[in-house]
Amino acid sequence: MRRLVLALFLSACPPVLPPVDAGPAINPSWKHAHNDYEHARPLLDALEQRFESVEADVWLDGADVGVSHAGPPFKGSLKALYLDPLAARIAANAGSVHGDGKPFFLWIDLKQGSAALQDALATQLAEYPFLTRFDDAGEAQAGAVTVVFTGDNTAKKALVERAAPRPYVRDSNDYAPTDAPADGKWGFYAVNYYSFMQWDGAGTIPRAQKLQLERLVNGAHATGRRLRIYSNPDTAAYWAEAKAAHLDFVNTDKLAELAAAFAP
**Is 93 a member of any domain?**
yes
The count of other CB atoms within 10 Å of the CB of residue 72 is 8
Is there a domain that residue 96 lies in? yes
Per-residue model confidence (pLDDT) at position 7:
38
Residue 225 in domain: no
Q: Is residue 4 part of a domain?
A: no
In a domain, 155, yes or no: yes
pTM of the model: 0.93
The total domain count for the chain is 1
pLDDT for position 139? 84
What value does the mean pLDDT take over residues 211-239? 96
Give me the count of residues in the chain: 264
- What is the rounded average pLDDT of the residues 187-205? 97
Query: Which of 36, 140, 145, 134 lies closest to 101, judged by CA?
Result: 145
Confidence band, pLDDT 50/70/90 cuts, at residue 177: very high
Q: What is the pLDDT of residues 69-104, one digit of tens each?
A: 999 999 999 999 999 999 999 999 999 999 999 999
Range of the domain at 91: 25-188
pLDDT single digits (tens) 241-259: 999 999 999 999 999 999 9
Residue 50 lies in a domain: yes
What's the whole-number average pLDDT of the chain? 93
Is 258 among the domain residues?
no
Please check whether residue 238 lies inside any domain of the structure: no
DSSP letters spanning 38-64:
GSSSTTHHHHHTT-SEEEEEEEEETTE
- Classify the C-alpha dihedral 85-78-34-26 as positive or negative: negative
Q: Which helix (H) or strand (E) holds 92?
A: helix 84-92
What helix, strand, coil percent values describe the chain, rounded to 5? 35, 20, 45
